[in-house]
């Protein structure tokens, strides 16, 4: 990456420039999300053959895998945003991390609900303490902790450093627990659905709608992230104006 490109990236730490960027990103990501999710889901749900063993239940994959993908990557986004806040003190990145948490939380919930619906018909149980399921429960705990911390500390000045440190430490400890859970037992969840290795991949008839809905979910999360960040910026500005009014009076 050339230094010039990095400089343009840092320019978005200016709220006005960020809002200008958002004016392009929001409709674009909304469009991509809508088309990809609608096409991907309709293709996936109605125009693919049911699996010979799992029948129609296999089609829940088109919701489950993208939601899981977004849930994990949202935490990554939060960690990076918190790091940027701690190092460079751009408060937009802090607000973006705050805005991202509920999105990731909801995606984790969606993953768990779709997974347990699928599990109830295939494994015969809604929930087992399998490594993959356990690591999602752990991820859910860290999302909850982050949101609780924000709501408990309330003010931006006190909460900012604490929540970002919590987020960064949380990512380290969540990864640690994930590997330990995998060390303890292998479990019955199947391996990763998508991989760069051709032979391990799922069949092409499932692959393309899955990729479409994956792109759709990512675009959806970007759309939500931008909308929520803009809202947080506006809330922050209003509180600043109110404070100035109080001190002036």
Partner 1 sequence: MVLRSGSHLLIAFTFFFFFSVLFALSTLGTETLLHLIAPSGIWISLLISVLLTLNKIIHQEFENGSTDFYLLSDFPLEIILFFKTIVHWITVAIPILLIMPFIMIALQIELEKLFVLLTIIFIGSPALSFVGIMISCLTLSNNSSFLITTITIPFYFPTLLLGIYCTNNTDLDNMSLAYVLLSLNTLFTITISPFISAYAVKLHYS
Closer by beta carbon to partner 1, 16 or else 186: 186
Closer by beta carbon to partner 1, 32 or else 149: 149
**3-state secondary structure at position 55:** strand
Q: Which residues of the chain form contacts with partner 1 (CB under 8 A)?
A: 138, 141-142, 145, 148-149, 152-153, 158, 161-162, 165-166, 169-170, 173-174, 176-177, 180-181, 183-184
Least CB distance to partner 1 at residue 111 (A)? 18
Least CB distance to partner 1 at residue 174 (A)? 8
**By the 8 A CB rule, do 103 and 225 touch?**
yes
Closer by beta carbon to partner 1, 60 or else 167: 167
Least CB distance to partner 1 at residue 84 (A)? 15
CA dist., res. 228 & res. 102, Å (int)? 10
Q: At what angle do helices 156-184 and 131-153 cross, to 10 degrees?
A: 170
Least CB distance to partner 1 at residue 184 (A)? 5
In this structure, what token pair is assigned to residue 70?
């977004």
Q: What does the chain come to in residues?
A: 249
CA dist., res. 242 & res. 248, Å (int)? 10
Closer by beta carbon to partner 1, 138 or else 224: 138
Closer by beta carbon to partner 1, 166 or else 206: 166
Least CB distance to partner 1 at residue 85 (A)? 11
Closer by beta carbon to partner 1, 6 or else 76: 76
> Which residues 6+ apart lie within 8 Å of 121 measured at CB?
57
b/e for 108-134, b at 16 or more Cβ within 10 A? bebbbebbeebbeeeeeeeeeebbbbb
CA dist., res. 246 & res. 249, Å (int)? 5
Question: Residue with structure tokens 């993908």?
Answer: 69
Least CB distance to partner 1 at residue 24 (A)? 35
CA atoms within 13 A on the CB side of 183: 6
């Amino acid at each position: 990456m050339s230094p010039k490109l990095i400089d343009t990236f840092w320019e978005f730490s200016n709220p006005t420039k960020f809002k200008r960027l958002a004016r392009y990103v929001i409709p674009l990501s909304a469009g991509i999300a809508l088309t990809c999710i609608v096409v991907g889901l309709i293709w996936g749900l109605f125009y693919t053959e049911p699996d010979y063993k799992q029948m129609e239940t296999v089609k829940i994959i088109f919701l489950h895998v993208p939601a899981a993908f977004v849930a994990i990557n949202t935490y990554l986004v939060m960690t990076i945003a918190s790091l940027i806040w701690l190092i460079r003190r751009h408060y937009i990145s802090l607000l973006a991390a705050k805005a991202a948490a509920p999105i990731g939380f909801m995606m984790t919930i969606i993953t768990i609900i779709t997974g347990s619906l699928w599990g109830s018909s295939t494994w015969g149980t809604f929930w087992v303490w399998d490594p993959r399921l356990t690591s999602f429960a752990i991820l859910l705990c860290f999302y909850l902790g982050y949101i609780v911390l924000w709501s408990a500390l309330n003010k931006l000045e006190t909460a900012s450093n604490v929540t970002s440190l919590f987020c960064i430490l949380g990512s380290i400890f969540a990864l640690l627990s994930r590997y330990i859970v995998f060390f303890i037992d292998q479990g019955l969840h199947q391996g990763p659905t998508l991989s760069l290795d051709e032979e391990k991949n799922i069949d092409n008839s499932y692959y393309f709608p899955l990729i479409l809905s994956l792109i759709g979910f990512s675009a959806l999360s970007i759309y939500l992230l931008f909308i929520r960040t803009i809202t947080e910026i506006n809330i922050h500005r209003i509180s600043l104006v109110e404070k100035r009014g109080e001190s002036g009076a």
